[in-house]
């Protein structure tokens, strides 16, 4: 009797997880539909400024010795009148980065740039706090924000500023590029992840009139929009998502420019990537808890409310995926029950979840790489496996947000890596480590047994599905515990040239 009750409970939980994952799959298909429907409806400026406005470029920095010179060099080369450009270096660093930024600031001033170097000893609010402090002394009517690992294209302001001729436009987001896309398997798969979000989600939401978010960098804000929306707040780890939704709730219009690309460096080590994913996931759930009630109390159309909800709750999928990993176990009822499970469980998951993911990223790569997208898609199994391997890391972030577990804003280490010959092993920055890879390794071993069981019991249709779980957990766990890279001296990677060529 107890065994039958346990089976009923397990089945109910399993079906609940499947229904949840299926709902996320359906939402993914809807994003594809919105993208295809609006892909040719690109935005255009309402007009052009007769007199260009003053722009403040804010550069939030914390211990970025390997990339800060590259950032400042690119900013100094932006095609915009110097008398209308203010550069704010918001440097909260506690290491030698402070000396580098001070020297760069002095050199830029000698070149005629308006440079303000702000150093905080008290890092209250972390990045959000630094941006808020900088805004108090900013001269620009518009604010361009660039993180330390980004490289500003020369025409960044010229291609974006004129969209602000529409007084309702409060923010403009450009698409991220990838400086080191081909560095490793990890960076290639990360690039595909980001391409899917930026090309499909941001474009679909922006052009269909739904809410979308500032990505924290590589975008411009109207200063009055920030102030009217309540300013930078630091009660979540995603201050960018938080401000974006508050601003759009206040009636401001956002624009995403998919054809304006601002390249950045992708994390090259697994622990750094997991730390970044943890912060983004936790911050999004915190923002969901904070703003979702306000969204549904607003007078917004139902379609916008529904899509905003889908966006803000999207990372709960990792919690469902982690639950799926726990609920999955080899069938012990013989080959017949194995086939039943395959027909009723494995195939529905594959069609609603896995196929939707494949369609999503195929669509993004076809848009970006119309001639080589098939080659890019050879990495699709790796993308699916990495998403599964991250499930425990990101599920923990979801739970921390749900139960209000406090944590600091943990920066993602950047190493100035753009070439395969470079390595991060000798770099002094390291992502925080945890015991989670031990659990991930345990899941990898368990799914190895699961694969063996499926093979020996003739459940061959389940094997490709199970291999994704096995491979994903092995890759994430071993990359976290045993990082490797070719030897390379980082001392040679730092620029010895002046920041102004």
The residues assigned a catalytic role are 92, 240
Q: Are 34 and 203 in contact (CB under 8 A)?
A: no
Tokens 């100035």 correspond to what residue?
416
Distance, CA of 401 to CA of 118 (rounded, Å): 31
CA 45-221-157 angle, to 5 degrees, is 55
Nearest to 139 by CA among 101, 89, 84: 84
Rounded to whole angstroms, the Cα distance separating 74 from 264 reads 12
- CB count within 10 Å of CB 498 equals 12
Cβ 187 vs Cβ 266: under 8 Å:
yes
Q: Given strand 142-145, what is the order of strands in its sheet?
A: 114-118, 85-91, 55-61, 142-145, 219-222, 169-178, 253-264
CA–CA dist 132, 277 (Å, integer): 24
Residue 466 has a CB neighbour count (10 Å cut-off) of 21
- Kindly state the tokens that stand for 7: 């089976």
Rounded CA separation 345/338 (Å): 10
d(CA 222, CA 253): 11
**How far, in Å, CA of 111 to CA of 82, rounded?**
10
């Amino acid at each position: 009797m107890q065994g039958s009750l346990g089976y009923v409970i397990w089945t109910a939980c399993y079906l609940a997880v499947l229904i949840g994952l299926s709902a996320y799959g359906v939402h993914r298909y809807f994003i594809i539909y919105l993208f295809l429907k609006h892909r040719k409806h690109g935005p255009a400026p309402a007009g052009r400024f007769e007199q260009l406005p003053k722009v403040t470029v804010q550069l939030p920095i914390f211990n970025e010795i390997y990339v800060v010179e590259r950032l400042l060099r690119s900013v100094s080369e932006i095609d915009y009148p110097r008398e209308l450009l203010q550069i704010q270096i918001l440097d909260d660093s506690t290491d030698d980065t402070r000396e580098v930024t001070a020297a760069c600031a002095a050199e830029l001033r000698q070149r005629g740039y308006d440079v303000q170097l702000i150093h905080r000893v008290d890092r209250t609010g972390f990045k959000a706090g630094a941006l808020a402090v900088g805004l108090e002394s900013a001269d620009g009517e518009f604010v361009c924000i660039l993180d330390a690992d980004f490289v500003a294209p020369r025409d960044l302001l010229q291609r974006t500023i004129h969209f602000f001729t529409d007084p309702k436009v409060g923010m403009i987001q450009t698409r991220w590029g990838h400086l080191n896309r081909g560095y490793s398997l990890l960076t290639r798969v990360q690039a595909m992840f980001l391409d899917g979000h930026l090309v499909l989600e941001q474009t679909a939401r922006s052009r269909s009139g739904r809410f979308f978010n500032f990505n924290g960098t590589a975008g411009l804000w109207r200063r009055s929009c920030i102030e009217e929306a309540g300013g930078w707040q630091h009660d979540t780890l995603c201050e960018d998502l938080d401000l974006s939704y508050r601003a759009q709730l206040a009636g401001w219009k956002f624009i995403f420019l998919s054809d304006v690309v601002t390249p950045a460096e992708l994390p090259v080590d697994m622990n750094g990537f997991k730390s970044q994913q943890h912060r983004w996931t936790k911050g999004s759930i915190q923002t969901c808890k904070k703003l979702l009630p306000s969204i549904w109390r607003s007078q917004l159309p139902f379609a916008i409310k529904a899509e905003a909800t889908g966006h803000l709750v999207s990372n709960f999928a990792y919690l469902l995926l982690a639950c799926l990993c726990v609920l999955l176990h080899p069938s012990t009822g013989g080959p017949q029950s194995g086939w039943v499970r395959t027909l009723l469980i494995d195939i529905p998951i594959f069609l609603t979840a896995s196929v939707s993911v494949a369609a999503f990223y195929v669509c993004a790569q076809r848009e970006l790489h119309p001639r080589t997208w098939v080659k890019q898609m050879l990495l699709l199994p790796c993308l699916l496996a990495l998403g599964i391997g991250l499930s425990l890391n990101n599920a923990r972030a979801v739970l921390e947000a749900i139960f209000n577990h406090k944590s600091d804003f943990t920066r993602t280490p950047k190493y100035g890596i753009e070439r395969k010959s470079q390595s991060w092993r000798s770099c002094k920055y390291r992502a925080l480590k945890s015991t989670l890879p031990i659990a991930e390794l345990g899941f990898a071993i368990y799914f190895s047994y699961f694969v063996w069981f499926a093979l020996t019991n003739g459940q061959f249709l389940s094997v490709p599905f199970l291999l994704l779980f096995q491979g994903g957990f092995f890759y994430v766990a071993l990359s976290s515990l045993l990082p490797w890279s070719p030897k390379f001296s980082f001392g040679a990677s730092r620029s010895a040239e002046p920041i102004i060529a």
